[in-house]
C-alpha cells in the first residue's frame, strides 16, 4: 500500500529521489515523480461545508490540508454548488484526494471544511 508523497519503499531505482504522486485504484497503478511533481498550486474542494455565510466572491483564508500541516494561504473561489477552487499563494506538497481541507480566518477561527481533490478543473 502506498500513500501520496511516500518516498521510502518504492521499487526500482532512480538517480533522483522519487515520490508517489498519483494513485489510480481503477487501473491498480501508482505513479511516481519528482518533488516538483508532488506539489500543487491549485486543487478542487468538494462538498465544502461553510460555517459562515457562503461567500460567492473569492475569499482569502488559511487552509490546513492535513492534521500536522502548518497552514497555507489560498484564495478560494466558488465554481459551482459544493465545488470550490483553491489557489494556493505558495505551492504545497502532497495534496491528497479525500483528505480533509479545513479553512480558517486568522489563526483559529474555523470557517469551513471539505474534501480535497488533487485534480484541477
Question: Is 91 within a domain?
Answer: yes
Helices (H), the chain: 35-38
| Grid coordinates given for 62 | 488559511
How much is the pLDDT for 117?
67
| Grid coordinates given for 46 | 468538494
Average pLDDT, rounded, for the chain: 87
- In which residue are the cell numbers 521499487 written? 11
- Of 109, 107, 118, whose CA–CA distance to 31 is shortest? 118
Bridge partners (DSSP) listed for residue 64 = 102
* Span 11-67, pLDDT tens digits: 877 888 999 998 888 999 999 999 888 899 999 998 888 888 888 899 999 999 888
Residues 69-87, mean pLDDT to the nearest whole number: 92
- Are the beta carbons of 112 and 52 closer than 8 angstroms? yes
- Of 63, 90, 59, whose CA–CA distance to 75 is shortest? 59
How much is the pLDDT for 120?
46
Question: Is 15 within a domain?
Answer: no
Range of the domain at 113: 39-117
CATH code for position 54: 2.40.30.10
Number of domain units in the chain:
1
Question: Is 34 within a domain?
Answer: no
Question: Is 50 within a domain?
Answer: yes
- Are the beta carbons of 120 and 42 closer than 8 angstroms? yes
How much is the pLDDT for 11?
80
How much is the pLDDT for 119?
52
How much is the pLDDT for 61?
94
Band the pLDDT of 1: cuts 50, 70, 90.
Answer: confident
Question: Is 49 within a domain?
Answer: yes
* pTM of the full structure: 0.81
How much is the pLDDT for 76?
95
Q: Is the pLDDT of residue 92 over 60?
A: yes
Amino acid at each position: 500500500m502506498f500513500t501520496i508523497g511516500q518516498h521510502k519503499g518504492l521499487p526500482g531505482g532512480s538517480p533522483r529521489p522519487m515520490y508517489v504522486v498519483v494513485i489510480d485504484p481503477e487501473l491498480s497503478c501508482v505513479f511516481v515523480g519528482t518533488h516538483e511533481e508532488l506539489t500543487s498550486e491549485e486543487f478542487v474542494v468538494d462538498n465544502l461545508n461553510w460555517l459562515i455565510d457562503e461567500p460567492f466572491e473569492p475569499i482569502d483564508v488559511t487552509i490546513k490540508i492535513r492534521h500536522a500541516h502548518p497552514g497555507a494561504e489560498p484564495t478560494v473561489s466558488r465554481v459551482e454548488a459544493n465545488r470550490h477552487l483553491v489557489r494556493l499563494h505558495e505551492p504545497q506538497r502532497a495534496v491528497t484526494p479525500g483528505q480533509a481541507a479545513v479553512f480558517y480566518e486568522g489563526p483559529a477561527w474555523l470557517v469551513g471544511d471539505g474534501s480535497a481533490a488533487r485534480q484541477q478543473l
